[in-house]
Chains A and B, each alone.
Chain A
Amino acid sequence: MVPERFRVADRRQETADTWTLELEPVDRPGGFRFRPGQFTMLYAFGAGEVPISISGDPAVPERLVHTVRAVGAASGAICRAEPGRMLGVRGPFGSHWPLGDADGRDLVVVAGGIGLAPLRPVLYEILGARERFRTALLLYGGRQPDQLLYSQEIEEWRERGLDVEVTVDIAPVGWPAGVGVVPDLIDRARFDADEAVAFVCGPEPMIRFSAEALIARGVRADRVHVSMERNMKCAVGHCGHCQLGPEFVCRDGPVFTFERMRAAFGLRDV
């Protein structure tokens, strides 16, 4: 429960309110090992602690990478942390994307907005062993072009064999990618639904509609995996802040099958 010290090694702006920080462990020789989909509790001293998904490459443990959106006091302080500053880290915590379930199958990665960050480690693993999967597809949606994450990297992923489709809610005339909603991308994407495994992350309404679109295409509900983001505080299933029905999102999640979470998506005002 005690945070370890990590030094900010690099910081770059992704969008108007979102930054990527690369952190180096001070107290952990051998680096920070994690599995795609896990999160840490990131602590800005004097400001507070927030749960942030890990967005770096699992094969590079010497750098812990987080993409953070500045929406409050703690996340704002983290985004303002210049190289050389010290942050506290607890973790890694939580469940992970079950990449092994997708071996030999079509893997459909569906991301919305900043929800691409927790899926980026998956994309690094796909690109590091592309032959493990048949089709490997990223369907990414955002509000408008200047709010999309990792725009340059997306082009590199395409060149390295990832099929990528991008859509935004609205765009200036001349925008070369799509305009529309993520479920529409799912409807026309080329993959074998009978053999597909899907990972979905983004705002919960987008997760719900995307998961339903995947299932309507014929993907089995137990092969649709979603990442839930709730009000996580302790990160070890004690405090109960992130409880959702019988699940503690920090301990039992954040990655669940949609089948397991389906009832939760139907709860009102939760």
Chain B
Amino acid sequence: MKTMDALLAEVPTFAGMTTPQLEFIAGCATNVRAADGERLFREGDPAEVFYAIRHGSVALELHLPARESVTIDTLHDGDLVGWSWLFEPFRWEFDGRARGDVALIRFDGACLRGKCDADHELGYELMSRFSRVIISRLQATRLRLLDVYGVGAPV
């Protein structure tokens, strides 16, 4: 059975971090499973945790008044789920739901924030890595804003 720091090393966001750093983070991490359809978090609830997907897929859902609820993103093996734990007011901005059975690593956000406060080098490293994830999602959102499929000539 793999140790938690070995599992963390397989998550792209943590790849290449030093063994002491991974062991340090592992103290805030737990292996969990979610069944198909299980809600991992709900919009407006306190965001005390975040996840890394080991196997499976998670849908981010947005519920709108007087409109059909929509899935705005699906996340897959290796993806991080959630950064609301990083910033005040520490509340989820979407619902997260398991699509099929999902294996995840769950992180205690307060625990990790505490470790980042205590070890600024680790904090800087993690913030850099999370920023890359956030930028990647922002770029994908910008691409969708182009609505590339909505215009153009017949093919």
Q: Interface residues, chain A, CB within 8 Å of chain B? A: 50, 52-53, 67-72, 75, 112-115, 117-118, 141-143, 147, 167, 169-176, 178-181, 183-184, 188, 201-203, 205-206, 209, 229, 231
Whether the Cβ atoms of A114 and B155 lie closer than 8 Å is yes
Q: How far is the CB of B8 from chain A (nearest CB, A)?
A: 19
Cβ-neighbour of A179 out of B74, B143, B151 (below 8 A): B74
Answer whether residue B135 sits at the interface, using C-beta atoms and an 8 A cutoff: no
Q: Which are the 6 A-B pairs with shortest beta-carbon distances? A: A113-B149, A203-B148, A143-B149, A69-B154, A173-B69, A75-B154
Chain B residue at minimum C-beta to C-beta distance from A230: B153
Say whether A170 contacts B71, CB under 8 Å. yes
Q: Which residue of B lies closest to A182 (CB)?
A: B143
Residue-wise, chain B 60-91 has the 8 Å CB interface mask toward A (1 for contact) of 01000000111111101110000000000000
B149 touches A112 (CB 8 A): yes
A residues in contact with B76, CB < 8 Å = 178, 188
- In the complex, how many angstroms separate the beta carbon of A113 from the nearest chain B beta carbon? 4
A115 to B152 CA separation, bound complex (whole angstroms): 11
Q: How many residues of B contact A (CB 8 A)?
A: 28
Among B144, B151, B152, contact of A181 (Cβ-Cβ < 8 Å): B144
Q: A143 and B154: CB pair below 8 A?
A: no
Q: Is there contact, CB below 8 Å, between B68 and A172? A: yes
CB–CB A169/B144 < 8 A: yes
Collect the chain A residues with CB atoms within 8 Å of residue B74's CB. Answer: 167, 178-180
Write out the residue numbers on chain B whose beta carbons fall within 8 Å of the beta carbon of A175. 71
Question: A205–B153 contact, CB under 8 A?
Answer: no
Residues of A within 8 A of B1 (CB): none
- Write out the residue numbers on chain B whose beta carbons fall within 8 Å of the beta carbon of A53: 155
Residues on the B chain within 8 Å of A176, using CB: 99
Residue of B nearest to A170 (CB): B70
Question: Please, which residues of chain A bring their CB within 8 A of the CB of B149?
Answer: 112-114, 141-143, 147, 169, 202-203, 206
Nearest neighbor of A18 in chain B, beta-carbon distance: B154
A118 touches B155 (CB 8 A): yes
State which of B147, B151, B155 has its C-beta within 8 Å of the C-beta of A201. B155
Q: Is the CB of A229 within 8 A of B68?
A: no
| B16 in the interface (beta carbon within 8 A) | no
Report the minimum CB–CB distance from B15 to chain A (whole Å). 14
Which of A184, A188, A202 makes the CB contact (< 8 A) with B148? A202
Distance between A44 CB and nearest chain B CB, rounded to angstroms: 12
**Is there contact, CB below 8 Å, between B153 and A172?**
no
Residue of B nearest to A114 (CB): B155
B140 within 8 A of A: yes
Taking CB atoms, residues of chain A closer than 8 Å to B70 are: 170-173
Cross-chain contact A112 with B73 (CB below 8 angstroms): no
Known: A170-B70, A173-B59, A205-B143. A143 touches B155 (CB 8 A): no
B20 contacts chain A at the CB level, 8 A cutoff = no
The answer to whether A179 touches B71 (Cβ under 8 A) is yes
CB neighbours (8 Å) of A112 from chain B are: 148-149
Contacts of A115 in B (CB 8 A): 155
- Contact between A181 and B69, CB atoms less than 8 A apart: no
Which chain A residues border B146 with CB–CB below 8 Å? 205
- A52 closest partner in B (C-beta): B154
> Cβ of A68 and Cβ of B154 under 8 Å apart?
yes
A72 to B149, CA, bound (A): 16
B69 pairs with A183, CB closer than 8 A: no
Q: Are B154 and A206 in contact (CB under 8 A)?
A: no
In the docked arrangement, what's the CA distance between A195 and B130, Å?
A: 32
- Can you list 8 A-B pairs with a CB-CB distance of less than 8 A? A53-B155, A72-B153, A142-B149, A170-B70, A175-B71, A183-B143, A188-B78, A209-B143
